[in-house]
Amino acid sequence: MTLKRRLMLTLLGVGLLPVMLLAILSTRDARTALESQAFAQLESVRAIKRAAVERYLTTIVDQTSSLARSQAVVDAMVDFEEGYRLYARESGRSQSSLRSRVLPYYEQEFVPRVVDAHPEAQIEANDLVEPLSLSALAMQYAYIIENPNEVGSKDEMTAPRTFFGYDQAHMQWHPYFRDFLQRFGFYDIFLINNGGDIVYSVFKEVDFATSLVDGPYADSGLAEAFRLALEAPFEDDAVLVDFSIYRPSYDAPAGFLAVPVFENNERVGVLALKFPLDRLGSIMQERAGLGQTGETYLVGSDGLMRSDSVMDPDHHSVEMSFRHPETGRVDTDAVRAGLSGETGSLIGTDYSGGTVLSTYAPITIAGLDWVLVAEQDQAEAFAPANQLLVSAAIIVAVLVVIVVGIALYTARSILKPLGREPADLQRVAVAIADGDLRLHDDNHEATSGVYRSMQEMVNGLRSLVQHIIEAADQQASSAQQLTAITDHTLENVNRQNEQTEQVATAIEQMSSAINEVTRNTNESAEVAKTTHQAVNQGVDDVVQMSGDINQMSNDLRDANARIQALREEMKGVDAILETIKGVAEQTNLLALNAAIEAARAGEHGRGFAVVADEVRSLAQNTQSATDEIANTVDSLLVSSKEAATLTDDCSASAQTIAERSTEAAQRLRDTLKEVQQIVDITLQIASASEEQSSVASEVTSHVARISSMASETETAVQEISVASAGLAKLASELQNSVTRFHLD
């Protein structure tokens, strides 16, 4: 593995492993915290909704009981009962005559509307009209068929054109009950005598004047409420009958409140009110704190909706749920647990099959068996955790790029003065030590630094050895020639001068070769000096880089200190937000209490109720804004913490790089010493070559003297013979010495 790759892997491991471990742990902890926070928020919404629903149910039960105890209701019950009993006789019409007038209304108005709303309904107009008594027919004819107002507005008529006793009572009491209904939002108000006859209703639907004992609606929820109230021993014993399909309201679901009416401890009838579904729905459809996918809804013991769903009104509204229970029923884990009396939270599926965070609680006011469910899509609830995971991944990716860049820069900074990998330098040095002066470089990239100098040194050594080999060969040849001359000198003295000239020529060639060796050696010395200067400059560059990295480490520590100071400032903001949130919650509760008191105050409290609603809305907006600010501050705290950790890691990495740069500088200084040794050796070789040149000059001088020493030829020849033998031996030794060098 190359040094560059080792450096990159080391820096990547040191820089990224701690960051990745921290990112994984932080993301896991943040996801757990966000899940707990999401459940806590849903549980808070559930608790608020549950309290509001229970307060509302308690309020309307109390309103019903209070209304039943009022003298106006007692007097109206007595008046309507007497008028109802006499109405058939006062009208003077026969039952068949009235039935023939009432039946077309059922056939042309009521039945088509029921079929339009509920196409699967099995309904016959005659089955509804046949059980009606003479009084019921007469009163429906007068107050429904002869009523000039449209269906749904029949309550606008105070009295018909006739002026019977019942009509006088209706003219007196109808405005009172109609005003009460409009002020408190009830769907209808009924007065029922002890015999089960509906002697009065506000909206005059087809249940008006019918019998709840043997009439067409004896099996309805209103009839059940009447029977339960009739059995109640006290006037405060209000009963609430859960929602069911109510045919007089065109098969729409309806629930009823009923309470007995007493006069002087004697039961005179029952007061019943149709449950105001829209008021309950407005409580449940308030979505503050539930995000884009959250909602709260009520489910009855039959699994059908008791409030409209915000997310799926086409299938899970109260009306659609009762009309199409096969698609509108809710049978989830949360609903089953709540109907069993449990209060809790879970991650499960909602009515549409999506994964949600769900909290649930039972509602058992006035005998009801409902469950309140607060839900939010898991994707939205955990969106901050997923965003945190994406942010962590982005940070890790950026760090990978940064660390890779630093690793590449560091590796190049270290390898540039060397020119190649340390293994390449070692290979060249070992080859020189083994006498192999052949350059085996499979990498054809341009070289520089120490490796380039070593290449030049090898080239110089190869040239030097080549010249030495040539000189040794020449010396061997000269020795052979001298031997031959010695052998023939005695035989042919006359040829002495010729042989002497040949010797002189050979010596001149040797001198020229020695001079060439000297010149090449001097050039090698100059190259070695240049290498020494380059290495010295590399040491200075590495030292300068180490100082720059130390300065960067100090800057990172300063940045970390500033980030920590920012975190302390943001923690102070949290305390202020908690105070604002507490004030908003108290304001919300006070506004809600004020609204309830205003409702109890009736007409006099209507203006105050508007102000209380505005104050409550302002408190809820303030609480929502503080929650958003708190979430933003929390996100900033997490980001600043990650930034502080990142600067600490970068500072540590910079310190490590600085230390390694110092080590690299020391290694370059060691290399500098070795280059100096090469310079010294080269200079020694140059000095030796100069000495050889001087010796060659002396030999030339001796050869010149040979020609003038003819008289001493024999002695000289003998001396030359001995000298030739010694020269041959030296040449042989020199040849043996240079054979260890490989040039080709």
Q: Do residues 117 and 262 both lie within one domain?
A: yes
CB 490 within 8 A of CB 721: no
Across the chain, which distance is largest between two alpha carbons, in Å? 191
- Look at 90 and 645; give whichever has higher pLDDT: 90
Q: Do residues 27 and 117 both lie within one domain?
A: no
Name the DSSP letter for residue 740.
T
**Spatial separation of the C-alpha atoms in residues 131 and 109, rounded to whole Å:** 19
Q: What pLDDT, in 10s, does the model give residues 659-687? A: 776 776 677 677 668 767 766 766 776 67
Identify the pLDDT of residue 181.
Answer: 95
| Burial profile 224-240: b = 16 or more Cβ within 10 angstroms, e = fewer | bbbbbbbebeebeebbb
Identify the pLDDT of residue 430.
Answer: 73
Identify the pLDDT of residue 135.
Answer: 94
| For the chain, percent of residues with pLDDT exceeding 70 | 75
Q: Is residue 450 part of a domain?
A: no
What DSSP letter does each residue of 25-65 carry, written as one string? HHHHHHHHHHHHHHHHHHHHHHHHHHHHHHHHHHHHHHHHH
pLDDT at 554 over 60: yes
- Look at 45 and 458; give whichever has higher pLDDT: 45
Q: Do residues 132 and 180 both lie within one domain?
A: yes
Q: Do residues 15 and 136 both lie within one domain?
A: no
Q: Is residue 42 part of a domain?
A: yes
Q: What is the mean pLDDT of residues 543-567?
A: 72
Identify the pLDDT of residue 544.
Answer: 78
Q: What pLDDT, in 10s, does the model give residues 297-356? A: 999 999 999 999 998 888 899 999 998 899 999 999 999 999 999 999 999 999 988 999
pLDDT at 34 over 70: yes
Q: Do residues 263 and 392 both lie within one domain?
A: no
In this prediction the pTM is: 0.53
Q: What pLDDT, in 10s, does the model give residues 488-537? A: 766 765 666 676 677 567 667 766 766 775 676 677 667 667 767 776 77
Identify the pLDDT of residue 744.
Answer: 67
Least Cα distance to 688 among 429, 457, 468, 466 occurs for: 468
User: Which band of pLDDT confidence, cut at 50, 70 and 90, is reported for residue 14?
Assistant: confident
pLDDT at 388 over 90: no
Q: Is residue 305 part of a domain?
A: no
Q: Do residues 242 and 190 both lie within one domain?
A: yes
Single-letter amino acid, residue 255 = G
Q: Do residues 155 and 254 both lie within one domain?
A: yes
Identify the pLDDT of residue 237.
Answer: 78
Q: Is residue 18 part of a domain?
A: yes
pLDDT at 411 over 60: yes
Q: Is residue 264 part of a domain?
A: yes
Identify the pLDDT of residue 453.
Answer: 74
What H or E segment, with its residue span, contains residue 198?
Answer: strand 198-201
| Residue whose token pair is 């926070």 | 37
- Look at 34 and 37; give whichever has higher pLDDT: 37
| Residue whose token pair is 């007061």 | 271
Q: What pLDDT, in 10s, does the model give residues 413-432? A: 776 676 666 766 677 777 77
Q: Is residue 144 part of a domain?
A: yes
- Look at 188 and 581; give whichever has higher pLDDT: 188
Q: Is 455 helix (H, G, I), strand (E, B) or coil?
A: helix
Q: Domain boundary at 243, 275, 307, which?
A: 275
Q: Number of folded domains in the chain?
A: 2
Least Cα distance to 130 among 93, 94, 97, 99 occurs for: 99
Q: Is residue 727 part of a domain?
A: no
Instruction: Tell me what the pLDDT averaged over the chain comes to.
Output: 81
Q: Do residues 42 and 99 both lie within one domain?
A: no
pLDDT at 710 over 60: no
pLDDT at 641 over 70: yes
Distances, alpha carbon 123 to alpha carbons 106, 112, 128, 129, 130, in Å:
11, 10, 8, 12, 13
**What CATH code is carried by the domain that includes residue 98?**
3.30.450.20
User: Which band of pLDDT confidence, cut at 50, 70 and 90, is reported for residue 76?
Assistant: very high
Least Cα distance to 23 among 558, 641, 653 occurs for: 641
Q: Do residues 19 and 97 both lie within one domain?
A: no
Q: Do residues 47 and 175 both lie within one domain?
A: no
Q: Is residue 696 part of a domain?
A: no
User: Which band of pLDDT confidence, cut at 50, 70 and 90, is reported for residue 445?
Assistant: low
Identify the pLDDT of residue 685.
Answer: 63
- The dihedral over CA atoms of 726, 728, 730, 732, expressed in degrees to the nearest 10, equals -150
User: Which band of pLDDT confidence, cut at 50, 70 and 90, is reported for residue 699?
Assistant: low
Q: Do residues 107 and 41 both lie within one domain?
A: no
Q: Which are the contacts of 525, defined by CB distance < 8 A and separation ≥ 6?
A: 679, 682, 683, 686
Q: What is the mean pLDDT of residues 531-548?
A: 71
User: Which band of pLDDT confidence, cut at 50, 70 and 90, is reported for residue 211?
Assistant: very high
Of the ranges 286-300, 349-363, 716-730, which one carries the lowest mean pLDDT score? Answer: 716-730
pLDDT at 272 over 80: yes
Identify the pLDDT of residue 729.
Answer: 75
Task: Tally the residues of the chain.
Answer: 744
- Look at 353 and 645; give whichever has higher pLDDT: 353
Q: Domain boundary at 413, 433, 466, which?
A: 413
Determine phi and psi for 289, rounding to 5 degrees.
Answer: 85, 5
Q: What is the mean pLDDT of residues 551-572?
A: 72
Q: What pLDDT, in 10s, does the model give residues 181-204? A: 999 999 999 999 999 999 999 999
**Spatial separation of the C-alpha atoms in residues 300 and 292, rounded to whole Å:** 25
User: Which band of pLDDT confidence, cut at 50, 70 and 90, is reported for residue 440?
Assistant: low
User: Which band of pLDDT confidence, cut at 50, 70 and 90, is reported for residue 463?
Assistant: confident
Identify the pLDDT of residue 195.
Answer: 96
Greatest mean pLDDT among 165-174, 552-561, 644-653:
165-174
Q: What is the mean pLDDT of residues 640-656?
A: 72
pLDDT at 548 over 80: no
Identify the pLDDT of residue 513.
Answer: 64
pLDDT at 559 over 70: no
Q: Domain boundary at 275, 308, 327, which?
A: 275
Q: Which domain holds residue 30?
A: 3-57+384-413
Q: Do residues 111 and 201 both lie within one domain?
A: yes
**Spatial separation of the C-alpha atoms in residues 457 and 434, rounded to whole Å:** 15
| For the chain, percent of residues with pLDDT exceeding 90 | 35
Identify the pLDDT of residue 111.
Answer: 96
Q: What is the mean pLDDT of residues 104-120?
A: 92
Structure tokens at 643: 């930034």
Identify the pLDDT of residue 44.
Answer: 92
Of the ranges 87-91, 592-596, 735-739, which one carries the lowest mean pLDDT score? Answer: 735-739
